[in-house]
């Protein structure tokens, strides 16, 4: 009896934030081990962005006019920030499908039976996806160097650009988490995760100069959070950018990218955790 009595204060005094971090890391480790045992998950995740690099660089590169130049090497430097940003945002579909699959197989019910922080399941999953995204970015950067992409700033700014990309990718995985919790099957999560990504990534400055769009469409593109991240990376990489715009995110892209990403995390993490709690209550 005394042993139980003595143990009670220790449990009661557990810091909820510390428990959330500890449980999130445990879930993240579980997902990383699962990824390592299914290497095709990582391989297939690398193929698509590499295809985009090769296709856009060599098929469209010679016909694009960027910064007054039609040189394909100029377009390749312009392109890579968009490809990097597209890669981290497309990880959203995988995050949503993974969570939907866990829900479908009843794994979430098993987590619910454990004495763990409720938000840890989602946080751990998104952290594991962030690690996979970082690996994909590294491989993609090597491929980009092979096709002629170069940076023209110092190492600190280059690392800052990749940091913004990872922050944006982590923010978008929370949108995927909410989608994964809101549908019944992994297939629906994958479809739902891609439908909205295509207009977000293509109505932007990722692949073309937004100044060539109609005025109302350029306004949307300039205020698109995705465009802010792309433009911030071009600034930090020292790569050619789009024509000047009066839109605040294009004037201050680094700050805009960071603010957008933090807001997305705060909003969609709150919604996703609330959805998770209501579904498993």
The structure tokens 């480790």 sit at: 29
- Cα gap 243→250, rounded to integer Å: 10
Which pLDDT score is estimated for 153?
A: 93
Examine the pLDDT at 3 and tell me if it is beyond 60. Answer: no
Q: Give 236 or 122, the one with higher predicted confidence.
A: 236
Which pLDDT score is estimated for 35?
A: 77
Examine the pLDDT at 124 and tell me if it is beyond 50. Answer: yes
Q: Tell me the average pLDDT across 80-96.
A: 87
Q: Tell me the average pLDDT across 169-191.
A: 86
For the chain, how many residues are written?
A: 281
Residue 163 pLDDT level (bands cut at 50, 70, 90): very high
Give per-residue pLDDT as tens, 46-80. Answer: 787 888 787 777 776 666 666 555 566 777 888 89
Tokens at 87, concatenated: 């890669």
> Which sign, positive or negative, has the C-alpha torsion 228, 235, 129, 124?
negative
CB 273 within 8 A of CB 117: no
Closest listed residue to residue 226, CA positions, set 60, 84, 64: 84
Structure pTM?
A: 0.86
Q: Which sequence spans correspond to the domains of the chain?
A: 15-280
Which pLDDT score is estimated for 15?
A: 76
DSSP string, the chain: -HHHHHHHHHHHT--HHHHHHHHHHHHHHHHHHHHHH-HHHHHHHHHHHHHHHHHIIIIIGGG--BTTB--HHHHHHHHHHHHHHHHHHHHHHHHHHHHHHHHHHTHHHHHHTSSS-TTHHHHHHHHHHHHHHHHHHHHHHHHHHHTT----S-HHHHHHHHHHHHHHHHHHHHHHHHHHHHSSSHHHHHHHHHHTHHHHHHSSSSSS-GGGS-HHHHHHHHT-HHHHHHHHHHHHHT---PPP--SHHHHSHHHHHHHHHHHHHHHHHHHHHHHHHHHH-
Q: Tell me the average pLDDT across 202-212.
A: 87
Which pLDDT score is estimated for 247?
A: 92
**Lowest model confidence (mean pLDDT) among 4-18, 25-39, 208-222, 239-253:** 4-18
- Cα gap 166→141, rounded to integer Å: 13
Strand partners, 66: 69
């Amino acid at each position: 009896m005394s042993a139980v009595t003595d143990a009670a204060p220790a449990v009661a005094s557990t810091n909820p934030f510390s428990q959330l971090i500890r449980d999130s890391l445990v879930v993240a480790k579980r997902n990383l081990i699962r990824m390592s045992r299914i290497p095709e998950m990582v391989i297939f995740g690398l193929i698509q962005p590499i295809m985009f690099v090769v296709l856009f660089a060599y098929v469209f590169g010679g016909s694009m006019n960027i910064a007054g130049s039609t040189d394909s090497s100029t377009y390749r430097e312009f392109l890579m920030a968009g490809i990097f940003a597209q890669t981290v945002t497309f990880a959203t579909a995988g995050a949503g499908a993974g969570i939907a699959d866990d829900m479908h197989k009843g794994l979430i019910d098993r987590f619910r039976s454990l004495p763990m922080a409720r938000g840890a399941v989602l946080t751990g999953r998104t952290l594991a996806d962030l690690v996979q995204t970082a690996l994909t970015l590294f491989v993609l950067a090597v491929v980009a160097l092979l096709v002629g992409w170069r940076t023209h700033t110092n190492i600190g700014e280059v690392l800052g650009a990749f940091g913004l990309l990872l922050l944006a990718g982590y923010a978008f995985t929370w949108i995927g988490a909410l989608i994964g919790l809101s549908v019944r099957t992994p297939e629906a999560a994958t479809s739902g995760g891609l439908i909205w990504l295509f207009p977000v990534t293509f109505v932007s400055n990722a692949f073309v100069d937004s100044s060539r769009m109609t005025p109302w469409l350029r306004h949307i593109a300039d205020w698109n959070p995705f465009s802010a991240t792309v433009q911030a990376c071009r600034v930090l990489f020292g790569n050619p950018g789009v024509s000047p715009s009066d839109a605040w995110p294009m004037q201050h892209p680094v700050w805009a990218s960071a603010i957008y990403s933090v807001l997305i995390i705060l909003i969609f993490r709150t919604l996703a955790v609330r959805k998770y709690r209501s579904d498993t209550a």
